[in-house]
Structure formats: C-alpha cells, structure tokens
Amino acid sequence: MENKKNMKEIKVEIIGVYPPCARCKKTEENARKAAAKLAAEGVKVEVAKLDVAAKGTISKYGILIAPAIAINGVVKIIGKELDAGVIERLLRKEL
C-alpha cells in the first residue's frame, strides 16, 4: 500500500500548438518521461496538453509562444524544447 500522507501531487501542463510542431511533440514526450520517473518514486504527476491558441489557455496564462510548460498553474518555461532531465529537475523543485 502507498503511504498517502507523504504522496505529493504535481500538475504539468504542456502548452503547444495544434497540430503539434516537432518542438511541442518532443517537449510533451520529455515531460511524460520525467513524470513517469517521478511516478515510479510514488509522486502523482498529472500531465495535460493545452492548445496555446485556445481562449482559455490565453486567459489563464497570457502566453502566445510555444512550447511552454506550466507546473502547478505557474508557467516555468516559454519557447524552449526541454529535455526530460531539465523537466524532471523542475518537477522535483515542487516536492
């Protein structure tokens, strides 16, 4: 059984264009790799994909450049494709 009281939850949002460009695809792929690594350690990580041009995304984050990554509702990176290691470090800062 998992120890629920020590379980941390992180929400990662990958903000990109639709249909996804190569940089957005790679950023999402790397975010999912980083999330899987933390999940293996018992951290609950939810990964969601948002369309940068959607009204809801623009009003929530106010960005128009992709790819971008928001962690727990705060934009951390804009306009860069990140490797899984960098994303993992960003996620670990939230623990």
Kindly report, residue by residue over 28-60, the tens digit of the pLDDT: 999 999 999 999 999 999 999 999 999 999 999
Instruction: List helix spans (H) across 1-95.
Output: 22-39, 55-61, 84-92
**Do 83 and 77 contact (CB within 8 A), yes or no?**
no
Kindly report, residue by residue over 58-94, the tens digit of the pLDDT: 999 999 899 999 999 999 999 999 999 999 999 999 9
Query: Class of 10-88 per CATH?
Result: alpha beta
Q: What is the pTM of this model?
A: 0.88
